Structure 1
Amino acid sequence: MRVLCACEESQAVTSELRRLGHEAYSCDLLPTGGAHPEWHVRADAVEVAKLAWDMVIAFPPCTHLACSGARWFGEKRRDGRQQSAIGLFLALATLDHVPRVAVENPVGIMSRLYRKPDQVIQPWQFGHPETKATCLWLRGPAAARADA
């Protein structure tokens, strides 16, 4: 499967997908912090996502969307940062030409502005001691199996 990991400079997910045999690429405005710069596209993730992909897994920045920063939402709305972040999230979540899309973000305003997430996961569910609700908005064949 040809997979774009949008807004991922670390290559953590990209490397795991490559290990599983997928043709995966990370994409971010930042240079990669991962070990494989040949798998990294340094560009606007929304523009790269317009290419032919079987799946896009997106990690848009949550700085202006997460409930943990709610006390600064007024300022972020006034100066446009929040609207810009909402635009990026929606552009990645609504890629109609991509058969499978997964968008990750913590609990925040997108549950109200876009739709409720398909799944909410916690690090402790995967063997880590932390508690940090992480929302997943899913679309495509895998989304139908998420509740199964």
Structure 2
Amino acid sequence: MADHLRILIGCETSGVMRRAFAARGHDVWSCDLLPAEDRSNRHIVGDVRDHLADGWDLLIVAHPPCTRLCNSGVRWLHEPSKRLPETYPAAEREAYALMSREDRLAFLWSDLDRGAALFAACWQAPVPCVAVENPVMNPHAKARLPADLPRPQTVQPWWFGEPFFKATSFYMRGLPRLSPTNRLTPPKVGTPEHKEWSAVHRASPGPDRWKFRSRTFEGVAEACADQWAGGAAEEAVA
């Protein structure tokens, strides 16, 4: 078993990734602007950037705000939506609703810059091993990110025994690529099973939709804990 590591899980409220590493004996903390859903006392409420230099062996940014960085949100940078998602503060959503089209566009492009800055800060953190999660990025986001950013590894929950579709990209430094642990066979398009596997993308609008769509699957977290903790320990000792 790998030596005990000091691990920070950034931008996580669910505790799924934190619990997976904690179960293996590591000193692990999560951090987010919101409280932990499981009310853990090993959760820091605050900006992850304020804690990047606290002497971690491994940093995993589980789900940084990515609405503007991902491909699925790129269309709003050209024709702004009429409202912001529930993930934004109420005051910000109310102000946005009253903006002109031009002001909304300016806000969304500024939001893109903020998201890219957060991603870059995490990627460049003074930590030996780093993994930053994000969906497939749009070209505008890629142009704002560090030049040394490698090609990500894109995984699916069904690689790890979870019957769901959700392409997730990990940008990794000092860590091995994840290997499937329990690869399932995806159902054919158009079948009822395919619709069930697409639950993340088909989630109905509502105040908690963002939680469901951003949650880390337990199978993925277990694979990260098993396959990254050992690599991080070796890197930290080297």
What's the TM-score, normalizing by structure 2?
0.56
Alpha-carbon distance in structure 1 between the residues aligned to 2:167 and 2:76: 20
| Pick aligned residue for 1:134 from 168, 173, 177 | 168
| Pick aligned residue for 2:133 from 88, 97, 104 | 104
The one-letter amino acid of 1:68's match is S
Aligned twin of 1:78: 106
Larger radius of gyration: 2
Q: Within 5 Å, which residues of 2 pair with 1:37-56?
A: 38-56=41-59
Distance change >3 Å, CA 17–CA 77, structure 1 → 2 = farther
Return the structure number with greater relative CO, CA threshold 8 A, min gap 6: 2
Aligned twin of 1:125: 159
CA contact (8 A) 1:77 1:83 kept: no
Aligned twin of 1:92: 122
The one-letter amino acid of 2:152's match is D
Aligned residues: 143
SS for the counterpart of 1:26 is: strand
The one-letter amino acid of 2:45's match is R
Q: Which structure is higher in strand share?
A: 1
Aligned twin of 1:15: 19
What's the TM-score, normalizing by structure 1?
0.87
Alpha-carbon distance in structure 1 between the residues aligned to 2:157 and 2:119: 22
Structure 2 gaps of 5+ residues are: 81-103, 180-238
Asked if 1:146 corresponds to 2:180, the answer is no
CA contact (8 A) 1:12 1:34 kept: no
**RMSD value over aligned CA atoms?**
2.0
Structure 1 gaps of 5+ residues are: none
